[in-house]
Structure 1
Amino acid sequence: MKVSISYVAVCAMVVLLLAAEAQISMGVTCSPTQLSPCVSAITSSSPPSKLCCSKIKEQKPCLCQYLRNPNLKKFINTPNARKVATTCGTPYPKC
């Protein structure tokens, strides 16, 4: 009986975690234009603005999608883009 209760509890936790992840993912509209406040920080050595950092955090679930796009990858997969992400406290994605 204990095994089945533990199994049910683990399954319930997994379902809750997946539901929470789905809500986070569905709440974001992936649009690379949302990262336009970061262009100057990515293309030069200027520090990212607060707006840039908030947009990176908001678009975090989309970053792997952007990296798979050849037109966007050349901007996102650069040392400056990694530096901006780190400065903003958003880990660079491992896709």
Structure 2
Amino acid sequence: MATGKPSATITVLALALCAAAAILLLAARPADAASCNPASLSPCGGALLGGAVTQGCCAQLRAQQPCLCQYARNPNYSRYVNGPVAQSVTKACGLPKMKC
């Protein structure tokens, strides 16, 4: 019976490590979501209305690039992100076409 206790201890430790890893992964997700801030794309407002594409707009598009597909799926932002003007702005900034 002494051999059963070490394997039970190892099993409990393995489960505890898995639970800790899952908690850490879930805790990291809100931080990723927090970095997606559509308001930070405000420097692109003029370009979306037919104005010039500025360096500030391009810098913010690059910073928010991982979030663009998330915005494209959001009904509140999709018309801005998916429209032809938005595509021309991203192209003017040298960003690749979104593949969502």
Deviations 1:43-85 (A, max 9, x none): 22x2210000000000000000000101100111111100000
Q: Which has the higher contact order (CA 8 A, sep 6+)?
A: 1
Q: CA deviation at 1:31?
A: 0.3
Secondary structure, aligned partner of 2:76: helix
Normalising to structure 2: TM-score of the pair? Answer: 0.64
Secondary structure, aligned partner of 1:48: coil
Q: Which has the larger radius of gyration?
A: 2
Runs of 4+ aligned structure 1 residues displaced above 6 Å come to none
Normalising to structure 1: TM-score of the pair? Answer: 0.68
> Which residue of 1 is the match for residue 46 of structure 2?
40
C-alpha RMSD of the superposition: 2.2
Count of aligned positions? 71
Instruction: Return 5+ residue gaps in structure 1 as ranges.
Output: 1-25
Instruction: Return 5+ residue gaps in structure 2 as ranges.
Output: 1-31
Deviations 1:1-41 (A, max 9, x none): xxxxxxxxxxxxxxxxxxxxxxxxx5x81000010000110
